[in-house]
Structure 1
Amino acid sequence: MKNSVRILIVSWIAFVSLSCGAVVDAVVPVELDLQIGKSFLENAKDGKEGMHILKDPALEKYVKSVADRILKSDRIQYKKEFPYKISILDDDDTINAVCTPGGYIFVYTGLLKLVQDEATLAAILAHEIAHAEKRHSVKQIISSLGIYFTIYIALTIFLGSDAANLVNLGSRVGGEILTLANSRSAEAEADSMSFEYLKSTKYYPGALES
C-alpha cells in the first residue's frame, strides 16, 4: 500500500513538473483567485500602494454596463464563480485597467478620460477579463514561487487538504498584482479571447479596430 502511494506521489510530481499552467487549471481551486482579488480590493479601500477608490456611483454603473455586455458571452467560464465587481481608481496619471484574479475589475480615471468611445473601453475591459478567465496572474504567481512550491500545492490537494492554505497565500500576494507583467503568450491569449467575448456585443468589430 505504501509503495502504491509513493508511486502515485512520484507520478504526480512528474506531472506537475511538466506544466505549471496546466496544473493550476487542473487542481488549484478558484478560491485562491478570489482571495487574491479580495485582498487587492481591501488594499485599494485602505489606500495602500497609492490606490484610492473614487466614489462615483454613476461612473461605476456606466463601466459596469459595458462589462455586463461582455460577460453575457457564452465563452466566459467563471461568470458564476467570479463577481466581476467594478471599482474606479482615482488617478488621472495612470492610463490602465486591471482585472485581478477572481474577477475584480479596477479602472483608472486616467484611462476613462483618455478613451474616446465606448467600444474602445469595451475592448480594454474584455482583454482584462480574459486575463482573469485564463488565470494568468495566478499561474504567474505560482510559477514565480518555484516548481517545488507548485509541487507542494499539488500534493496538499492530492493528499486531501482543503484550500485554506491557498486562501492564506492569496491574502499575502494580493498586493503584488500591480507589479506583475504578463508574458507575451498570456497577452496574445487575452487578445484572442477578448475578440471572442466581443463577438456577441454591439462593440464588435469596432472595438477591435480602435
Structure 2
Amino acid sequence: MKLMRMRWHLLGMAFLALSLTTCTKDGRINVFSVQDDINLGQQVRAEIAADPQNYPILPESQYPEAYRYLRGLRDKVLRSNAVDYRGRFEYQVFIINDDNVLNAFATPGGYLYFYTGLIKYLETEDELAGVMGHEIAHSDRRHSTTNLTRVYGVSLMLDVVFGRNTGLLGNIAKQLAGTAAGLSFGRGAEREADEYSVIYLSQTEYQCNGAAGFFEKMLAAQGGGNSAPPRWLSTHPPSDERVRDINTKAQSISCSVSPSGINYQAFKNMLP
C-alpha cells in the first residue's frame, strides 16, 4: 500500500511538471516559458558583454551610424506579421569586431550578434537582411530553449516544480555564452529559420530569398577551391540544399526575388 501511494505521488508530480510546460506555436514541447526565454537571453547578453576577449563588441558610442543602419534593417524585417514575439522580445543588435569569423547568432529572447567578418563577406543588403531574418527566426521560433528542453527534459521540469537549482538558468547562460556553440541548432531548426527568413522578407523591399546569397557565395568559393566552409556549417544542411529550399519557398509564396539595389557598401564603410 505504501509503495502504491508512492507511485501515485510520483505520478502526480510528473503530471504537475507537465502542466507547467509550455508549447511552441507549432506544438513542440518547451519547458521554458516565454519569460524564461527573455530572462535567459538577458543573462547570455550579460555574459557576452563581460567577455570582450572572445566577443569584442563594437561600442555604439564610437559607431553610432553603423548601429543606426543595422537597427533600421532590423526594423524592416520586424514589420512582418509572422514575427510572433516582436512585441515582447527586445531584438537588440550587436556587432562583434572580428573579420575572421563568418557568423551571426541569436540568443533566446531576441539578442542578435553579427560579426564584421560576415558583414564584409556579404555583397548586398538583401543578403544581410536574409541573415537577419534567419537569426530573428531562431529567437522567435524559440529554437534555443526547445533544444535545451530536449537536453534537460524531466530533470529540469522537476527542478522547476520543487524550486531547486534556482541558478540553473544562470549556469545555462554561461554555457551558451562560453563558446556560442550552445546557440547552434540542428538541421530542422536551420531549415525552419531559412523558411521564415523568406516569409519575413516577403513583406519588405528586399528580395525575399536574400538568405540564399551567403550560401551561393560559399558554394562558389568551395567550387573554386578557395576556402572551406566555416566549422559551424558542419551540422547544418548542405549549402546547395539550403539554396534550393530557400528559392523553392520564395517561389511557393510568389514573393519578389529582384535585388533591392540598396547601397550596401556604405554600411561596410562605417565599420573599422
What residue is the counterpart of 1:172 in the other structure? 174
State TM-score, norm by structure 2: 0.63
Cα distance in 1 for residues equivalent to 2:77 and 2:166? 32
What residue is the counterpart of 2:133 in the other structure? 126
Match of 1:106, SS?
strand
Matches within 5 A, 1:145-160: 149-157=152-160, 159=161
Larger RCO (CA within 8 A; separation ≥ 6): 1
What residue is the counterpart of 2:239 in the other structure? none
Which whole-Å deviations, capped at 9, do the CAs of 1:24-55 have from their partners, x for residues lacking one? 1xx42123322332233223322356111112
Which whole-Å deviations, capped at 9, do the CAs of 1:105-164 have from their partners, x for residues lacking one? 1111111112111111000010111111111122223323xxxx421333455x485995
Shift of 1:3: 7.9
Matches within 5 A, 1:72-83: 72-83=79-90
What residue is the counterpart of 1:39 in the other structure? 43
Assess if the C-alpha contact under 8 Å between 2:131 and 2:211 holds in 1.
Answer: no
State TM-score, norm by structure 1: 0.79
Shift of 1:206: 5.4
Whether 1:194 aligns to 2:200 is: no
Cα distance in 1 for residues equivalent to 2:168 and 2:68? 32
What residue is the counterpart of 1:207 in the other structure? 210
Cα distance in 2 for residues equivalent to 1:202 and 1:115? 18
Gaps in structure 2 of 5+ consecutive residues: 214-272
Matches within 5 A, 1:49-198: 50-55=54-59, 56-144=63-151, 149-157=152-160, 159=161, 167-176=169-178, 178-180=180-182, 181-198=184-201
Larger helix fraction of residues: 1
Cα distance in 2 for residues equivalent to 1:95 and 1:118? 16
Match of 2:87, SS?
coil
Gaps in structure 1 of 5+ consecutive residues: none
Which whole-Å deviations, capped at 9, do the CAs of 1:73-115 have from their partners, x for residues lacking one? 1111111221000111010111111111110011111111121
Shift in CA distance, 208/22, structure 1 to aligned 2, threshold 3 Å:
closer
Assess if the C-alpha contact under 8 Å between 1:28 and 1:153 holds in 2.
Answer: no
Assess if the C-alpha contact under 8 Å between 1:35 and 1:170 holds in 2.
Answer: no
Cα distance in 2 for residues equivalent to 1:3 and 1:179? 39
Assess if the C-alpha contact under 8 Å between 2:197 and 2:208 holds in 1.
Answer: no
Shift of 1:12: 6.1
Match of 1:86, SS?
strand
Assess if the C-alpha contact under 8 Å between 1:39 and 1:170 holds in 2.
Answer: no
Assess if the C-alpha contact under 8 Å between 1:83 and 1:103 holds in 2.
Answer: yes
What residue is the counterpart of 1:23 in the other structure? 29
Could you tell me which amino acid in structure 2 is paired with residue 178 of structure 1? A
Match of 2:114, SS?
strand
Which whole-Å deviations, capped at 9, do the CAs of 1:154-179 have from their partners, x for residues lacking one? 3455x485995554344433414611
Q: Percent identity?
A: 27
Could you tell me which amino acid in structure 2 is paired with residue 175 of structure 1? A
